[in-house]
Copies of this chain bind each other. A is one copy, B any other.
Amino acid sequence: MCDNKPQGPLPYGPSITLEEARRVMDAAEAEARANGWPMVIAIVDTAGLLVMFHRMDNAQTGSVDIGPAKARTAALYKRPSKAFEDAIANGGIGLRMLSMTHVMPLEGGLPIERNGAIIGGIGVSGMSSAQDAQVARAGLAAL
C-alpha cells in the first residue's frame, strides 16, 4: 500500500528566500544562545552559494569556513553532511569520500526542504558535531 515511495533523490525547488532564511536563522541562533554555544550558522541556496551567514561572538575562527562548507555539502548532495561522516567512519570504500569536491564530511549540515523539494542547506559549526546538528535541526523546525 505504501510502496509508492519517491524514487531517487528529491528535486530542487526555487531557492530559499531571504525571509525564509531569516526564520531558519533566528530559530537556530536562539537554540545556540539558549545553550551558550558560540556558533557560525550559514544558509545557502541550491547552488551552495550563501544566502545568510551569522557568526556569534567568540565562535572559533575556523568555523567561518566550516559552517558554510557543511551547508554547501547538504545542498549540493541533497543529504545531511553526516552521511559522508558515516561513510568515512565505516572505513574501506567509504574513505573515497575524502577526495570528493565540496564535501565537508562533518555532522551539522542539513538540506532545507519546502513542499518536497530541496531549496538550500543549513550548516552549523562551533561546538561538537552533535551540538552543531542540534542547532541546525532547530533552525529547520522553524520552516
Contact = CB atoms under 8 A, between A and B. Distances in A.
Copy number in the complex reads 4
Contact of A14 (B14, B36, B106): B14
Contact of A48 (B58, B61, B78, B103): B61
30 contacts: A8-B36, A8-B38, A8-B127, A11-B57, A11-B58, A17-B57, A18-B56, A18-B57, A46-B61, A47-B47, A47-B49, A48-B61, A49-B55, A49-B64, A50-B55, A50-B64, A52-B54, A53-B53, A61-B76, A62-B76, A69-B101, A88-B93, A88-B95, A91-B95, A95-B98, A96-B105, A97-B99, A99-B104, A100-B104, A101-B104
5 closest Cβ pairs, A-B complex: A47-B47, A62-B76, A53-B53, A89-B93, A11-B58
